[in-house]
Amino acid sequence: MKIVVPVKLVPDLVEELTIDPSGTALDTSWLRLIINEFDDHAIEQAILLKERSSGHVTIITLDAEEVDDMLFAAAAKGADKLIKLVGNFESVINNHALARALVPLVQDLQPDLILTGVQSHNDLDGSLGALLAEYLHMPYVGYVSGVSAEPGRAIAHKEYPGGLTAKIGINLPAVLGIQAAEQPPRYVAISKVRQMMKTAQIDEHEVSSVDSSGGARITRMYQPEVAERATMITGDANETSDKLIVIFQELGVL
Amino acid sequence: MNQDIYIVIEHLRGQVADISYVMLAAARDLAHNTSGKVVAILLGHNSDHLAKNLAADEVLYANHLALTDFTSFSYQLVLSDLISKHLPRAVLLGHTSIGTDVANSLSVHLQIPLVSSVRNFTSNGKFVSQICGGKLMAEGDLPAPSVIATLVPGGYKPEHGQSTQPPRITPVDLPAMEELRVSLINYVEPEAGDVDISKEALLIAVGRGIQNQDNIILAEELSQALGGVVCASRPVVDQGWLPISRLVGKSGKAVKPKIYLAIGISGAPEHAEAIIGSDVIIAINTDPAAPIFNIAKYGTTADLFDLVPLLTEKVQQIKNS
């Protein structure tokens, strides 16, 4: 089974997010990028399927400063082929444009299954996997947290609200948007990643032009205005715990 | 081309989802700007009774056995046929496991721009999307002449999308429903679990900030001292540190306890929407910009590893005295 996993890097939300002087975009100058956590789960799910049925896993991502480390880590986990899209595109490329850029490359790879994160937190024009599916004329199922596959067909466990899931049959080739892998993304030792840096190869695929149609132009980006923020309890841990005890007593818990 | 606002009604196993009413309320807001009608699209099989309280000027009803349950492929077939014939000003779908499965393919197939995670529309018709885990809002002009938007809850009250006057229902012609490449095999009921967190009065919730499985015990000890139940946000459950029956959020349970103590939880929209019904939310998070403080009544940026054991000790002392 040939599996392709398109992966995106996204801003690390642990860092402070600031708006650039234009007021319409994130200031990316000091922004730390990390792998989209849903894509991390998609990689894990792909490796799990490979381990079950001797498949071949290709990871594709956009060129960025931190991206090689992420690709080598995926190789250390068991990915067989690493590709990055390079070109003179802007640092922010929307999902429609990225999906279109991936189409010829993915068509050449002829995968049975494309797994990608169901969403990323900075999506503004839909999600990559679902868009890619339609450009490739493949069926799509998202919010998937378990996959089994056989030639020509996969069964995806799709999540609904309230803990309900559904077993969905889907004809292959297909695209699945992964919410969670069947097990947490595996840990790989740094030594193994370093070894991959010496032995694994990253293929570069040139993207000549980017077509961003299909999204919307942002005219203002800002931090949410809040009608009423929490009353903040200040002081050290001891003082804070005393104040919380008083709140618990007022609320009738103690 | 028309100026109407279309809403794809979401329903699951005979229940209209709250997001459908939120979208109807949003559509009314938007239709006010475009001077168009609010038109609901209902796909189902013998499900026209689901239309009775929709606050829409008209319901376009697609009735077919293959639409008994949601599948992305059958919905896409019907919706692309319908939307291409009518070309409304905007089509709204839920930013949910149903809506996003079809919104993207419709955007590509019909070449209509897509905006996602829309929380509300401004009085001058701009969209406002909530991104980066609720830390940022992005505003822009709605692409013209048509746009598809996926909506998150929070911007409109569901009751504003309900009406006591049943709307006019118009059956629609359907395209050939053949060669369906996606099919529902069966639903899998959620595991019952040892407790039903949606019925608990005091919840101690842990998030990514708890760092590892060994630290879950800090929340369990506090919970035991206070007489509550431990639950969690998505990353904790995905790591396997707590069972899925304890998951609060979009794919888990919505809760409404008297007290929701959020420990190391950022308050991303998927989590926030499920706890908004709580009487009092108290949040412990070292990040002062965490969105959880926007919905909490009380908050502290104290380090949970200093605060929680101390709090447990003091609660135990009071209970024992």
Three-state secondary structure string covering chain B: CCCCEEEECCEECCEECHHHHHHHHHHHHHHHHHCCCEEEEEEECCCHHHHCCECCCEEEEEECHHHCCCCHHHHHHHHHHHHHHHCCCEEEEECCCCHHHHHHHHHHHHCCCEEEEEEEECCCCEEEEEEHHHCEEEEEECCCCCEEEEECCCCCCHHHHECCCCCEEEECCCCCCCCCCEEEEEEECCCCCCCCHHHCCEEEEECHHHCCHHHHHHHHHHHHHHCCEEEECHHHHHCCCCCHHHEECCCCECCCCCEEEEECCCCCHHHHHHHCCCCEEEEECCCCCCHHHHCCCEEECCCHHHHHHHHHHHHHHHHHC
With cut-offs at 50, 70 and 90, classify the pLDDT of residue A29.
Answer: confident
- b/e string for B181-199 if b means 16 or more Cβ within 10 A? bbeeeeeeebeeeeeebbe
Q: Please check whether residue A162 lies inside any domain of the structure.
A: yes
- Spatial contact of A131 and A95, defined as CB atoms under 8 Å apart: yes
Check which CATH number belongs to the domain holding B96 and give it.
3.40.50.620
Residue A30 lies in a domain: yes
Beta bridge partners of residue A171, listed in sequence order = A153
CA–CA distance, A77 with A70 (Å, rounded to integer): 11
Between strands A153-159 and A174-178, the pairing is unpaired
Is residue B151 located within the same domain as residue B217?
Answer: no
Q: Are B141 and B235 in a shared domain?
A: no
Q: Which amino acid is at B49?
A: H
A16 touches chain B (CB under 8 A): yes
Q: Which of A131, A168, A184 sits opposite B108 (nearest CB)?
A: A131
Strand partners, B261: B204, B282
Hunting for tokens 């990390």 — which residue is that? Answer: A34
Same domain, B228 and B161: no
* B165 and B46 within one domain: yes
| Residues of A with Cβ-Cβ distance to B183 under 8 angstroms | 168-170
Prediction pTM value: 0.95
Domain total of chain A? 1
The reply to whether A147 touches chain B by the CB within 8 Å rule is no
Q: How many C-beta atoms surround the C-beta of residue A90 within 10 A?
A: 9
Q: What is the CATH number for A33?
A: 3.40.50.620
- Same domain for B159 and B239, yes or no, is no
Token digits of residue B269: 């929209």
| CA-CA-CA-CA dihedral for A249, B231, B306, A32, to nearest 10 | -130
CB contacts of B115 in chain A (<8 Å) are 124-125, 215-216
**Cα gap A248→A252, rounded to integer Å:** 6
B16 and B120 co-located in one domain:
yes
Same domain, B162 and B219: no
Q: What is the rounded distance in angstroms from the CA atom of residue B117 to the CA atom of residue B94?
A: 9
Residue A149, classed as helix, strand or coil, is: strand
Q: What is the pLDDT of residue A91?
A: 56
Indicate whether B142 and B247 sit together in one domain: no
Could you tell me the two tokens for B84?
């291409």
Provide the 3-class DSSP secondary structure of residue A9: strand
Residues B88 and B213 in one domain: no
- Contact: B300, A234; criterion CB under 8 Å: yes
- CA B52 to chain CA centroid, Å, is 22
The predicted pLDDT at position B75 comes to 97
Match 């009092």 to its residue by tokens.
B280
pLDDT digits (tens, 9 = 90+) for A121-170: 999 999 999 999 999 999 999 999 999 999 999 999 999 988 899 999 99
The alpha carbon of residue B275 is apart from the nearest alpha carbon of chain A, in Å, by 13
**B236 Cβ partners below 8 Å, 6+ apart?**
B206, B207, B208, B210, B216, B242
By residue range, what is the domain housing residue B214? 197-320
DSSP E strands, A20-136 = 33-35, 56-62, 81-86, 113-117
Tokens of B102: 């079809």
Q: Does B130 touch chain A (CB under 8 A)?
A: yes
- Domain containing residue A97: 2-206
**From A17, A220, A251, residue closest to B139, measured CB to CB:** A220
Asked if B250 and B312 sit in the same domain, the reply is yes
- Please give, rounded to a whole number of angstroms, the shortest distance from the CA of B210 to a CA of chain A: 14
Query: For all residues of chain A together, what is the average pLDDT?
Result: 95
CATH number at residue B213: 3.40.50.1220
For chain A, say whether B186 makes contact (Cβ under 8 Å): yes
The SS3 call for residue A175 is strand
Asked if B137's CB is within 8 angstroms of A124's CB, the reply is no
Would you say residue A122 lies in a domain? yes
Classify the phi-psi angles of B276: left when phi > 0, otherwise alpha if psi is within -120 to 50, otherwise beta.
Answer: alpha
* Amino acid at site A238: N
- Say whether residue A148 is in contact with chain B using an 8 A CB cutoff: no
A65: pLDDT strictly greater than 90: no
Which chain B residues are closer than 8 Å to A155 by Cβ?
A: 185
Measured distance CA(B292)–CA(B261) in Å, rounded? 11
Say if residues B270 and B250 touch (Cβ distance below 8 Å): yes
What is the count of residue pairs from A and B with beta carbons less than 8 Å apart? 274
Question: Does residue A253 lie in a domain region?
Answer: no
Specify if B35 maps to a domain.
Answer: yes
Number of Cβ within a 10 Å radius of residue B17: 20
* Distance from the A85 Cα atom to the nearest Cα atom in chain B, whole angstroms: 22
Which residues in chain A are closer than 8 Å to B104, comparing Cβ atoms? 126-127, 130-131, 133-134, 140
Task: Check whether residue B19 and residue B113 sit in a common domain.
Answer: yes
Q: How many domains in chain B?
A: 2
Of the candidates B225, B297, B216, the one whose C-alpha atom is nearest the C-alpha of residue B264 is B216
Report whether B139 contacts B128 (CB < 8 A).
yes
Closest CA to A34 of A59, A5, A11: A11
Domain end marker among B171, B205, B231: B171
Q: Which candidate, A93, A62, A63, A122, places its Cα nearest to that of A210?
A: A93
Whether B19 is covered by a domain: the verdict is yes
Which of A69-78, A85-94, B77-86, B247-256 is predicted least confidently? A85-94
Q: Looking at the structure, do residues B140 and B63 belong to the same domain, yes or no?
A: yes
Q: Does residue B262 lie within any of the structural domains?
A: yes
Which among A126, A139, A237 has CB closest to B306? A237
| Residue linked to tokens 């990514």 | B208
What is the C-alpha separation between A141 and A125, in angstroms, rounded? 18
Is B240 an 8 Å CB contact of chain A?
yes
The residue ranges of chain B whose pLDDT is under 50 are none
